[in-house]
């Protein structure tokens, strides 16, 4: 057997293997290939990301074993989770899962620190509000808004030392961002892409009924290395100067008590990232 024959065999085996994979397994393989190249040539990575987005656009709820019953959701009760999460697969490079947002519920504003992501709506309609984070350089040019009135009320004290420390504490929780256009997304919409800065903070709420979307993130959340999910609240200041240049301020908050996820069964084809 010549080198050419060996190469031909490998290519044939690879094609054969791809042909036998289910759509979601092929997508997982493509996601791995895409995010393995994240630190290489930027244009190569962007080409791969664009192809991944195109493939994800063809994914349908049925490819993930999501049937009409899941798509119909269930009436949200005060004691039931507003959002369900179907774990599909995860390794140190990529995580894949489906969020099911019940009627009238939302994922509150949260970030994806140093991560890339692609989101595709599978059922229903969602409204997504997103913000771009700013670069260090951009942040340095932005003046903090006047916090005195805001902190006095939050500190509940008139002691100047208390106020100083309240101002400093508040300032540390504020993040300047730029808003993106609000989007309403359905299964007919193109997938949304987020990056370490672009569209990195978002909230996602269901519109007119329950909705489900596929979320691919790279790398996955990992609190042990500082990639925890952080929640934010849009914060308005009476001082109008801070909105110059379309900059808004988000305040870091604990996870809202109204938001938590239940684990839901994933019934689609198994995705073993280590064997792809
Ligand atoms: Fe998210």
Residue 105: HSE in the Cβ half-sphere, 13 Å Cα cutoff: 27
Mean pLDDT in residue range 42-60: 98
What's the 153 CA to ligand 1 centre distance in angstroms?
32
Q: What is the pLDDT of residues 178-206, one digit of tens each?
A: 999 999 999 999 999 999 999 999 999 99
Hunting for tokens 């709506």 — which residue is that? Answer: 121
What's the 108 CA to ligand 1 centre distance in angstroms?
9
What's the 109 CA to ligand 1 centre distance in angstroms?
8
> Is the pTM of the predicted complex or chain greater than 0.85?
yes
The architecture CATH gives domain 3-135+173-268: Sandwich (2.60)
Question: Where are the domains positioned within the chain?
Answer: 3-135+173-268
Q: What tokens appear for 254 in the block?
A: 């604990």
What's the 163 CA to ligand 1 centre distance in angstroms?
34
What's the 217 CA to ligand 1 centre distance in angstroms?
9
What's the 264 CA to ligand 1 centre distance in angstroms?
18
What's the 29 CA to ligand 1 centre distance in angstroms?
21
What's the 128 CA to ligand 1 centre distance in angstroms?
10
Contact of 234 with 248, CB cutoff 8 Å: yes
Higher pLDDT, 162 or 80: 80
What's the 141 CA to ligand 1 centre distance in angstroms?
28
Paired strand residues for 177: 133, 248
């Amino acid at each position: 057997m010549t080198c050419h024959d060996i190469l031909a065999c490998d290519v044939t085996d690879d094609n054969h293997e791809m042909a036998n994979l289910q759509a979601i397994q092929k997508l997982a393989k493509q996601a791995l290939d895409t995010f393995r190249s994240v630190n290489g040539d930027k244009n190569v990575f962007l080409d791969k990301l664009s192809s991944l987005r195109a493939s994800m656009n063809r994914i349908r709820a049925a490819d993930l074993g999501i049937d009409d019953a899941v798509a119909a959701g269930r009436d949200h009760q005060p004691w039931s989770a507003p959002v369900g999460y179907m774990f599909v697969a995860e390794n140190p490079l990529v995580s894949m899962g489906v969020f099911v947002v019940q009627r009238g519920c939302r994922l509150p504003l949260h970030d994806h620190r140093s991560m890339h992501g692609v989101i595709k709506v599978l059922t229903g309609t969602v409204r997504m509000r997103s913000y771009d984070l700013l670069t260090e350089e951009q942040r340095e040019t932005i003046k903090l808004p006047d916090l005195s009135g805001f902190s006095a009320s939050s500190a509940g004290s008139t002691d100047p030392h208390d106020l100083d420390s309240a101002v400093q504490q508040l300032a540390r929780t504020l993040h300047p961002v730029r808003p993106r256009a609000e989007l309403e997304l359905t299964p007919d919409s193109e997938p949304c892409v987020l990056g370490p800065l672009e569209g990195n903070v978002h909230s996602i709420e269901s519109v007119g009924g329950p909705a489900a979307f596929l979320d691919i993130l790279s790398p996955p959340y990992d609190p042990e290395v500082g990639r925890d999910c952080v929640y934010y609240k849009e914060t308005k200041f009476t001082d109008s100067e801070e909105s110059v240049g379309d900059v808004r301020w988000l305040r870091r908050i604990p996870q809202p008590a109204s938001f938590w996820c239940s684990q839901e069964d994933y019934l689609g084809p198994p995705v073993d990232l280590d064997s792809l």
